[in-house]
Amino acid sequence: MRSLLPNSSVTVIIPAGGSGERLGAALPKALVAFAGRTLIEHCVSNIAPIANQIIVAAPSGYEDQFRALLGDDVLVVTGGVTRADSVRAALAHSTSDFILVHDAARSLASSDLAGRVIDALVAGEKAVIPVLPVIDTIKEINSNGYVLSTHKRSDLRAVQTPQGFDAATLKEAHASSRDATDDAALVEAMNIPVKTVEGEERALKITLPADLATAQRVLLGDQSADIRVGVGTDAHAFSADPSREMWLAGLLWPHEIGVDGHSDGDVAAHAICDALFSAAQLGDLGSNYGVAEPEWAGASGAKLLQETLRRITAAGFAINNVSVQIVGNRPKIGPRRAEAIAALSRALADAPVSISATTTDGLGFTGEGKGISAIASVLLTATDRIS
């Protein structure tokens, strides 16, 4: 834990009320996802370790969606027309001595960066901003496109967030309804010194579609050479024994007759295990849980998924996503799809899972109602290459 002044605390205000026009997605920018999570979720989880209070300004109409994503520890308020309006809406609820204002669009900013900002506040600064050197030469131009002046590059810095303020200073800065894309500019206008600390590359601002790919690369490293695909399939015949339980996709299906086999016969779970082993080059279901390891003989699908995850993790792989298709006339997957996805995902430590289902138009053993099968594909990343 950071050594704050006695009795002092940190509120992080996250303006996330923008529409993300330049990103061009159908949803507000903060709800767009990369690497399996929305921008706002990345942002909150990265900054949370240093915050006593987090207030997010959401686009009007999306507040409940934000609340559902962020949980009870985060206060969600309605954002305003401009970024400064959104900051003001959140500021009214702040209870701390130090306030960090942090764009949702800088989703990957680390708690180390926030820590540097807080350290400078604790040392007595009233306003602190993270900055990076600029790479391009910057020129000032007039409205006709002619250059007015060239600024000395070594004197210039690109500004990031989180920007930190002593609470009274920020509240005074926002007391007028002025607009600014940068909170420090309001403090500068009050002639209060604004201190700079070193920014970080990963605090890049996600603005254009290409920035999402950059952010994903920053988060996961360049995966192009490190991604492994795997495929797996399994099939079982329906049992003649009407008391046989049906287990599929980690769920018990009451009123359905199960399949033959000595395990629970969960074809979806088995196909996924096979796909995971195959992607990790660790053999298959049979070579892992066969005669050599009899303790797994009757294990449930969920147990096998958990153990398979443990084995591929130990071998240095992480799951990007899992997709499984269930082929058969029954049971009907649609009504319990969300439940089944949750069950499989839970067994795989919350990995993204999708489930599709199909019948085969009366053809083959599945179409004739003799049994059920599943085919799974997975994508893994070699974790030793994740930066």
Footprint on this chain of Mg ion (rule: CB under 5 A): 18
Q: Which of residues 9-68 bind ligand CTP (CB under 6 A)?
A: 15-23, 29-30, 57
Burial class (CB in 10 A: 0-12, 13-18, 19+), 111: middle
Q: Which of 96, 250, 75, 232 is nearest to 168 (CA)?
A: 96
CB of 104 to Mg ion, least distance (A): 11
Place of tokens 């690369």: 217
- Structure tokens given for 239: 């049992």
Residue 78 engages ligand CTP in binding (rule: CB under 6 A):
no
Q: Which of 345, 352, 381 is nearest to 229 (CA)?
A: 381
Residue 80 engages ligand CTP in binding (rule: CB under 6 A):
yes
Nearer to ligand CTP, 84 or 305 (CB): 84
Residue 130 engages ligand CTP in binding (rule: CB under 6 A):
no
CB of 90 to Mg ion, least distance (A): 16
Q: Number of residues in contact with ligand CTP, rule: CB under 6 A?
A: 23
Nearer to ligand CTP, 18 or 258 (CB): 18
Q: Which of residues 235-294 bind ligand CTP (CB under 6 A)?
A: none
304 binds, among ligand CTP, Mg ion, none (CB under 5 to 8 A by kind): none
Residue 23's identity, in one-letter code, is L
Rounded Cα gap, residues 109 and 100, in angstroms: 12
The strand pair at 127-133 and 195-198 is best described as: parallel
81 binds, among ligand CTP, Mg ion, none (CB under 5 to 8 A by kind): ligand CTP
CB of 165 to ligand CTP, least distance (A): 16
Rounded Cα gap, residues 220 and 233, in angstroms: 29
What does the longest C-alpha to C-alpha distance in the chain come to? 87
Binding segment for ligand CTP (CB under 6 A), chosen from 79-87, 225-233, 336-344, 369-377, is: 79-87
The strand pair at 147-150 and 195-198 is best described as: unpaired
Q: Which of residues 160-219 bind ligand CTP (CB under 6 A)?
A: 205, 207
Cβ neighbours of 326 (radius 10 Å): 23
- Return residues touching ligand CTP (CB under 6 A): 15-23, 29-30, 57, 79-83, 86, 103-105, 205, 207
